[in-house]
Amino acid sequence: MFDAVTNEELPSRELTTLHLVRHGAVETGGRRLAYGQTDLPLSAEGHAQNDAVLQLALRTLPRPEGVLSSDLSRCLQPARRLAERFGVPLQVCPQLREQHMGAWEGRPWGELSAEDSQGIHDYWDDYVNARPPDGENLREVQQRVRSWWSE
């Protein structure tokens, strides 16, 4: 499958295929919210989106060895259904949560922009390195998930 040089360098010839599935839309009361780790429920649209993804997964994906999910309900609900339908274990991993938005959690973006337009501008200009007050930036999310994966 790999060339000779690659085969010599690989610690294992086993491959892990990871299928990433995003949860459906959440209930925000019609507002755009900074909700990273706020445990918002799925909206009716989100439930329908999850149903469609579940059906697609069952038709097209090979049976996985397991399902991994964040502990937030919007992720856990569809993950449980996938695990049950495939008949595989579900592993709940808080480390897979979305970005922690700190002091911005659960607040409308418009309100945040009015309060701190420079901070919001700086965030969107470089969200890999910029962080919400008391939150984490994308680089820190990456480190959190990478550390979990390494374990």
- Provide the annotated active-site residues: 23, 98
What is the 3 state secondary structure string of the chain?
CCCHHHHHHCCCCCCCCCCCCCCCCECCCCCCEECCCCCCCECHHHHHHHHHHHHHHHHHCCCCCCEEECCCHHHHHHHHHHHHHHCCCEEECHHHCCCCCHHHCCEEHHHHHHHCHHHHHHHHHCCCCCCCCCCCCHHHHHHHHHHHHHC
- For 107, other C-beta atoms within 10 Å of its C-beta total 17
